[in-house]
Structure 1
Amino acid sequence: MSTIQPLGDLTLEVGEVLPRLEVAYDTWGEFTGDNAVLVLHALTGDSIVAGPDGWWNQVVGPGLGVDTDRFFVVAANILGGCKGTTGPASEAPDGRVWGNRFPAVTVRDQVAAEAMLADHLGIESWHAVIGGSAGGMRAVEWAVTHPERVQRLFLLASSAYASAEQIAWTTTQADIIRAAGPDEGLGLARRIAHTTYRSEAELAERFGREVQPDGRFAVQSYLQHHGDKLHKRFDAWSYITLGDAMNSHDVGRGRGGLAAALGRVTARTVVAAIDSDRLYPPYQQQELADLIPTAEPLAVVTSPHGHDGFLIEHEQVGALAHDLLAT
């Protein structure tokens, strides 16, 4: 069971104070003072990264790419989420659920909350910070905001900023939730999102134009299934809040531009792209690898699965993590 840690008030980028911040987190391994690894989850993930129910349990664990026999792994639920950390589903100071009244948060606010947790845990410097997709946004923000606290950096299927197309997808999903209501709207939004998570070639090979006995296209049924799954486990207003935070992502904002911001990174860095990713296309990872002065040449993960390859291609991802952490 996750630990829920009260951390006090957090002043957000918008200037509003978020009172009584709580962060849910889980850990694996033993802390020796210099072996802490922060693993950051994607949009609808949580802090359960390892173990039987872990979303990356073939990458993080004993003897795996992120070896919990060697490293003290920390995973925290994201600020604005709904898996234990303060977010729209939490109780506001007036005793009511925040809901759509929850203040706007940014990726920088989310990293500030994680830094408060690190301070509480006595972690002055991370041996590595690892993140894929939205988790990669926070990982690169960690390395830009706190370069002295990040020794190694693994950025996977992510970017230095949200592109116009990514903002377009995210805001359209938020509009659907608002128009259709949180129950039906979240499922519809997830169906749109899940299409962008997979590749066109995979959908064509798996489903083609197959029609089921009930008259639905097979791909339609597949997307409805994923929409229904998310609706049962996630909060619609958290989905909007986190999407808005992702849209805020731009490490160059207020820092003299992208090159100047990424030039702050001192961590040994591996950037990996998924070759079939149409949501976070490889040019965005190439940009990170080119502008981070301590980055190795771009690594490419081969996958037919599109963006979700960062969750599926365990062997390739685990090998990259192992090599980064081992040296």
Structure 2
Amino acid sequence: MNSELTYIPIENYITYAGETVNVDLSYQLFGPKLGTAPIVLVTHALTGNSQVSGARGWWNSLVGAEKVVDTNKYTVVAFNIPGNGYDGKPENLYDNYKIFTAKDIARLFSLALEELNITRLFANVGGSLGGGIAWELSVLKPNLAKNLVVVATDWKATDWVIANTKIQDAILLNSCNPLQDARMHAMLMYRTPESFTMKFNRTKNESLGMFNIESWLQYHGKKLEERFQLSAYKQLNYILSTIDVSSGYNNFKEAVYAITADIHVVTVDSDALFTLKEDKVTVSQLREIRQRTGQKVTHQVIRSIHGHDAFLIEYDQLDGFLEPIFK
């Protein structure tokens, strides 16, 4: 079963910054109806949405009938990050694009799960920005999930991530073609020089009078402009910069100590946005904690020249890493 977009109204939500706002939180369900199967929560990346499965599903190589996250076996819940514009309703966009942090999104998802009477997840899964929110939700609700699966992400926005989101913000605020230009810049964060060389190797499109890398960047900029809105990009870019589960705690170890889930970290070795070096430190700290508590920590590495976007490209590797969890 692939559901239509459904809404959960959350009234008088008070953000961590102290603002009060009404939120129409939208979501989709895939697989058996709620209450009849184990539940997997999947949270989308910056330009993603709740359509994680099906013909237009952005993660349909992973989520679907007889896929690793098998919708014959699991009920998959996917929320839209408020303000992402997926429902096409202008009233659900936000003029103040800094209204929510990653912690706010995790808390809104927690409230929505309560409304759906979901008290236990088989897995809390997220990639990229969605993985940061999955981390935040696990700290907020440490007993919620049996498994935390975080892919191409981190529990914090590093200085490098904050710097890149700052440049993205400047482009979005000042460019004459903000969505196109910001997307072209973002593609450099998501890929690597080696990936571009393999794909293009300095070839030219003679009919356009430009290098193929240039026309490819323009194509991606225009495609995003066709399906995404400026306010949504500004807002989700800001949320990316706010990921930090240690906020409100003395350090990362203290923040995650109470999490009872088995934690599965998947890193892309060539990811320049969420780096392997940072994830190695995270996994080392988790294993120090769990020598005392006993829960599992796994760390798998996707080998790829494609950088951050490899989590959307190298499906055979990702499937192989996640299959033992879900099968």
Indicate whether the TM-score tops 0.5.
yes
Residue matched to 1:14: 17
Equivalent residue for 2:192, pick from 196, 199, 203: 199
Paired residues, what number? 315
Residue matched to 1:325: 326
C-alpha offsets along residues 279-323 of structure 1, whole Å, 9 cap, x if unaligned?
211122223322233342421112222111111122222232221
SS at match of 2:204: coil
After superposing the two structures, state which structure 1 stretch, 245-254 or 293-302, moved more. 293-302
* 2:5 counterpart letter in structure 1: S
C-alpha offsets along residues 87-112 of structure 1, whole Å, 9 cap, x if unaligned?
xx7427xxxx643x355210110011
| 1:98–1:245 CA distance, 2 compared to 1 (3 A) | closer
Distance 1:90 1:286 in 2: 42
Equivalent residue for 2:102, pick from 102, 107, 112: 107
* 2:315 counterpart letter in structure 1: H
Query: Does the 8 A contact of 1:273 with 1:300 survive in 2?
Result: yes
Structure 1 portions without partners, runs of 5+: none
* 1:255 counterpart letter in structure 2: Y
Distance 1:236 1:286 in 2: 35
Residue matched to 1:158: 153
Residue matched to 1:305: 306
Distance 1:106 1:155 in 2: 19
Structure 2 portions without partners, runs of 5+: none
Residue matched to 2:141: 146
* 1:220 counterpart letter in structure 2: E
Distance 2:285 2:70 in 1: 29
| 1:204–1:102 CA distance, 2 compared to 1 (3 A) | closer
Query: Does the 8 A contact of 1:47 with 1:75 survive in 2?
Result: yes
Query: Does the 8 A contact of 1:10 with 1:17 survive in 2?
Result: yes
Equivalent residue for 2:55, pick from 52, 55, 75: 52
Residue matched to 1:2: 5
| Matched ranges for 1:111-122 at <5 A | 111-122=106-117
Distance 1:325 1:297 in 2: 14
Residue matched to 2:263: 269
Query: Does the 8 A contact of 2:94 with 2:231 survive in 1?
Result: no
| 1:103–1:176 CA distance, 2 compared to 1 (3 A) | closer
Distance 2:197 2:203 in 1: 10
* 1:246 counterpart letter in structure 2: L
Query: Does the 8 A contact of 2:263 with 2:298 survive in 1?
Result: no
| Matched ranges for 1:185-264 at <5 A | 185-213=178-206, 214-264=208-258
> Shift of residue 251 of structure 1?
0.8
> Shift of residue 152 of structure 1?
0.6
> Shift of residue 11 of structure 1?
1.1
Residue matched to 2:175: 180
TM-score (norm 1): 0.91
> Shift of residue 33 of structure 1?
5.7
Quote the RMSD (CA, aligned, Å): 1.7
> Shift of residue 169 of structure 1?
0.9
Equivalent residue for 2:129, pick from 128, 134, 154: 134
* 1:35 counterpart letter in structure 2: P
Query: Does the 8 A contact of 1:289 with 1:295 survive in 2?
Result: no
> Shift of residue 151 of structure 1?
1.4
TM-score (norm 2): 0.91
> Shift of residue 78 of structure 1?
0.7
SS at match of 1:279: coil
Distance 2:278 2:41 in 1: 23
C-alpha offsets along residues 156-203 of structure 1, whole Å, 9 cap, x if unaligned?
11001101111111111111111125xx11110000001111121110
